[in-house]
């Protein structure tokens, strides 16, 4: 029986189910290659606490995380410097001992070093990212963070600051993870958690789930999880990053126990889930109109958000190809229907482009590629370049 990963309630119901879904970043070298894994991706809604989640990993964890493939340094993180500066604001120790959990290739550690922070340890499970991080610091443990790893390989109550960025959405046993955090952080330490903010998806009709994410947090559901382990959020900020990122700054100082949390997202979440079939059919009609008016319809950007969105909306048959500027992706094929991934110079000049890149790089792409007005639109919120039908859904939700 599936139960809520936060409150353990069995009062849940299926919210979304997508069949025959592949691991989207496992690109193919040849269109005839067999997908590494195909399965059903299903999300549940907890009717008790409001959490949206998958019951377990979409595929075996070794298939997803043995190598991460898409490393942190491959995409801009314009908000990361702000996180470094805010850590300085809230740390009482001028030379704090810091642990980053899920350090990926060490990009954030480089920013910490540049800011003068010297005592930094890290944990990273993916082998490719771990080896990249070793070039930044030798104090990296290769493994999945858990209470057990914390007990065996880290010092109890040792860290003034613990940072985990874009990690919690991947964690199956959240309560074990939080207990591990409690073990290693000092009583007056600062816990920094950065997560994708799924409230943005509710507000802007964003259905770009990713099969690697099994937890879809809002500020409210994150607060519930943290409170159940004695943490409270004393400050938070939002930033544009792969949609919208929420960074919460937390501590273990005593708080008045709360018997229950108000689920502020209830109505919006229900409408978001209920609206999906209509959105799916409207989006397909929109693409069919584009197909009639243009020789080709391309998705610019073969990243996890764009690949998943087109797959979940069942529109790959209308897409001519994907376009990407990464040499590691060009001349490969997408998982699933094996759509070609081309370089921009291979495109039909009269094509229409669906911008499947994150909002933080959209304007630069349009300028650099000299895309003509009326020949492109965005498909990833938040953006002011979404098509009219999409922007009108904000009122319906």
Banded pLDDT at 68 (limits 50, 70, 90) = low
Which pLDDT does position 223 carry in this prediction? 94
User: Is pLDDT of 253 > 80?
Assistant: no
pLDDT interval class at 233 (50, 70, 90):
very high
Percentage of the chain exceeding pLDDT 90: 86
> What domains lie within the chain, and their CATH numbers?
267-396 (3.40.50.720)
Give the pLDDT of residue 256: 58
Q: What mean pLDDT is predicted for residues 336-365?
A: 94
Please give the structure tokens belonging to residue 119: 């005592």
Q: In whole numbers, what is the pLDDT of the chain averaged over residues?
A: 93
pLDDT value, residue 250: 97
Does the pLDDT value for residue 70 go beyond 90? Answer: no
Sign of CA pseudo-dihedral 138, 139, 145, 150: positive
pLDDT digits over 10-62, tens only?
A: 999 999 999 999 999 999 999 999 999 999 999 999 999 999 999 999 988 77
Which pair of structure tokens corresponds to residue 374?
A: 């009326």
254: pLDDT confidence band, cut at 50, 70 and 90?
Answer: low
Cα 118 from Cα 4, distance rounded (Å) = 39
- pLDDT bucket at 283, cuts 50 / 70 / 90: very high
pLDDT at 74 over 80: no
State how far the Cα of 177 lies from the Cα of 195, in Å rounded to an integer. 15
Q: Is the pLDDT of residue 178 over 90?
A: yes
Q: Residue 337 phi/psi, 5° resolution?
A: -85, 5
| Neighbouring-strand partners of residue 247 | 194, 237
Both ends of the chain: CA-CA distance in Å? Answer: 31
Give the pLDDT confidence score for residue 387 in this predicted structure.
96
Q: Which of 228, 234, 100 is nearest to 159 (CA)?
A: 100
């Amino acid at each position: 029986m599936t139960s809520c990963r936060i409150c353990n309630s069995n009062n849940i119901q299926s919210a979304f189910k997508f069949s025959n879904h592949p691991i989207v970043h496992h690109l193919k070298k040849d269109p005839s290659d067999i997908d590494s894994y195909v399965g059903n991706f299903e999300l549940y809604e907890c009717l008790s606490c409001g959490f949206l989640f998958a019951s377990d990993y979409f595929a075996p964890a070794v298939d997803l995380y043995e190598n991460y493939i898409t490393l942190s340094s491959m995409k801009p993180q314009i908000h990361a410097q702000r996180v470094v500066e805010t850590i300085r604001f809230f740390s009482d120790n001028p030379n704090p001992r810091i642990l980053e959990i899920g350090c990926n290739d060490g990009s954030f550690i480089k920013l910490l070093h540049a800011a003068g922070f010297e005592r930094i340890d890290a944990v990273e499970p993916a082998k490719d990212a771990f080896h990249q991080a070793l070039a930044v610091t030798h104090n990296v443990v290769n493994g999945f963070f858990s209470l057990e790893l914390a007990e065996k390989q880290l010092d109890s109550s040792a860290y003034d600051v613990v940072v985990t960025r874009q990690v919690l959405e991947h964690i199956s046993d959240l309560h074990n993870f939080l207990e591990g955090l409690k073990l290693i952080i000092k009583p007056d330490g600062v816990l920094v958690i950065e997560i994708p903010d799924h409230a943005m998806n509710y507000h802007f009709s964003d259905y770009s789930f990713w099969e690697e994410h099994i937890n879809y947090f809002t500020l409210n559901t994150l607060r519930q999880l943290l409170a159940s382990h004695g943490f409270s959020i004393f400050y938070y900020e939002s930033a544009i990053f792969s949609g919208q990122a929420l960074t919460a700054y937390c501590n273990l100082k005593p708080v008045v126990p709360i018997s229950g949390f108000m689920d502020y997202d209830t109505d919006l979440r229900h409408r978001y889930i209920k609206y999906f079939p209509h959105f799916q059919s409207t989006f397909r009609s929109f693409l069919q109109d584009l197909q009639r008016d243009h020789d080709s319809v391309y998705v610019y950007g073969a990243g996890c958000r764009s690949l998943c969105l087109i797959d979940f909306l069942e529109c790959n048959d209308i897409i001519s190809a994907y376009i990407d500027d990464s040499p590691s992706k060009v001349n490969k094929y997408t998982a699933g229907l094996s759509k070609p991934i081309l370089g921009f110079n291979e495109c039909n000049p009269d094509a229409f482009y669906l911008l499947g890149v994150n909002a933080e790089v959209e304007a630069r792409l349009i300028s650099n590629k000299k895309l003509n007005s009326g020949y492109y639109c965005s498909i990833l919120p938040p953006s002011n370049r979404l098509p009219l039908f999409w922007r009108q859904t904000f009122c319906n939700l």
